[in-house]
A and B are shown apart, each in its own frame.
Chain A
Amino acid sequence: MTTLEPILRKHPFFADLADDDLKLICSCAKNVRFNVGDVVAKEGQSADEFYLIREGRIAVAMPSPSGGRLKIDTLDAGEVAGWSWLFPPYVWHFDLIAVTPIRALSMDGLCLRGKCDDDPRLGYDLMKRFSRVMSERLSAARLQAIDLYGSKVSNLNPSPTT
């Protein structure tokens, strides 16, 4: 039987994970594909998994005040999509939309939570990995929130008063 271990090892998120841990979580992984426009995850629905993107681009989206859908972030190959599986109530907080054809590894959250409960050291390792991603995305979200290039912010060459 072909194992997903080499694919999992190749993904930057788990590239430096200990061999034993990688073997352990491998049984929680499966290959998935999505087509352009597919809803990978939907806000409010049960978050039973997360995705390690191997190819393509996924948008993190939310309803737009104008009625459409507002993309607030995109995630590319080598990045991880979703951490709602880690925390109760285990529901998605945003939509994930396939912007391009996607190849990814889907990681079963229930399976992983079980392994983390059984082995807190593995759980701590995973928590650190996700905390780092969350920290980076929080920083980016704060920068977006201040509206860097907005009309009330000075642009480069003319000073705000001129």
Chain B
Amino acid sequence: MINVDPMIPNPWRVANRWEETHDVFSLQLEPVEAKESPLFAPGQFNMLYAFGTGESAISISGDPNDKSGLLTHTIRRVGNVTAALSRLQKGDQIGLRGPFGNPWPMQDLRGRDLVFIAGGIGLAPLRPAIYHALSHRSDYGRIVVLAGAREPEDILFAAELDQWKALGGVESRLTVDRAEDGWTRSVGVVTKLIPKAEFDPANVAALICGPEIMMRYTRTELRKRGVTDDRIFVTMERNMKCAVAFCGHCQLGPEFVCKDGPVFRFDRIAFWFAQREV
């Protein structure tokens, strides 16, 4: 029996797991009781429950067009729950609630250039939107992916970043904060890639995911190029508990990040984004 109560987790099984980097791993999950996985939209997240430890909000990082029935989540080990999730092996069970949240507005962005700007693990919540744009190529203009990481060994989805670059009309740039000899690509913060990226500032939409301070500076650089706040989208992270706007743990001013977000058009939250206390 499948629980329809959004507060009750359903049992899911680890179908595959692999390491992405030294502190990031991916879990591919399949439902234990349901015949099919729920559909999800790029930018949505699930609540993953490591039995005996706790629950965590994790973005779905896989391809929304994937018909295999498996849901992929890419997770960085940062605390007790994510450490417990990282110890799961193929065949182990977890609880899953979701998908939740307001997705990237891919339909509304048709006809525009798209620039995806990711910092660190931020590429994971953006990847389904990139997959969507690539599989609906004629719906969009130029596609630009700008990714930043701390060091070369921290780069997420490195092979895919290179594969995307080889596609027509797609630009993929990568930078790291520091590197030893041997690294021939860009060094510096991800915002430095923005002046070099080729897109139409009057017709581009920017989709940003990264630490808030990175998103703040990214927005500043985009503004310098003439990209207005109504074409900038960010995904916010707060301490999500219920995921359905009951508990208020994730409130950002009047907004519930779990339900009204996590994806917001920037002008909707610009005031709250600037408040350091919320």
Residues of A within 8 A of B (CB): 57, 59-60, 64, 66, 68-74, 76, 99-100, 139-140, 143-144, 146-151, 153-162
Contacts and interface: CB of A to CB of B under 8 A. Distances in A.
B57 A143 contact: no
Interface residues of B, number: 52
Nearest to A99: B184
> Interface centre among A66, A99, A150, A156, by most B CB within 10 Å?
A156
B229 interface: no
A98 to B, nearest CB: 10
B211 A73 contact: no
A85 B240 CA distance: 53
A143 B78 contact: no
Contact of B54 (A74, A76, A146, A162): A162
Closest 10 pairs (CB-CB, A-B): A149-B120, A162-B56, A162-B81, A155-B121, A149-B150, A157-B59, A155-B76, A74-B187, A143-B189, A71-B187
A79 to B, nearest CB: 9
14 contacts: A57-B186, A69-B180, A69-B181, A70-B178, A73-B187, A143-B189, A144-B188, A148-B189, A149-B119, A154-B78, A155-B78, A155-B122, A157-B45, A158-B56
B196 interface: yes
Given A59-B187, A71-B187, A143-B214, A156 B59 contact: yes
A140 B192 contact: yes
B57 A146 contact: no
Interface in B103-162: 119-122, 124-125, 148-150, 154
Given A148-B150, A148-B214, A72 B187 contact: yes
A34 B124 CA distance: 39
> Interface centre among B78, B179, B191, by most A CB within 10 Å?
B78
B36 interface: no
A162 B79 CA distance: 4
Contacts of B213: 143, 146, 148
Interface stretch (B27-35, B89-97, B231-239, B269-277): B231-239
A73 B188 contact: yes
B76 A158 contact: yes
A159 B75 CA distance: 11
Given A71-B181, A156-B235, A157-B124, 7 more contacts: A59-B187, A71-B180, A140-B188, A147-B150, A148-B211, A155-B76, A159-B240
Contact of A157 (B54, B119, B154, B237): B237
Contacts of A64: 180
A158 B57 CA distance: 6
Nearest to A97: B181
Nearest to A136: B192
B124 to A, nearest CB: 7
Contacts of A143: 189, 191, 213-214, 217
Given A59-B187, A148-B210, A162-B78, A157 B57 contact: yes
Contacts of B79: 158-162
A143 B119 CA distance: 12
B120 to A, nearest CB: 4
A156 B214 contact: no
> Interface centre among A57, A148, A149, A159, by most B CB within 10 Å?
A149
A109 to B, nearest CB: 24
Interface string B182-209: 0111111101100010000000000001
Contact of B179 (A71, A156, A159): A71
B189 A159 contact: no
Nearest to B122: A156
Nearest to A59: B187
B235 to A, nearest CB: 7
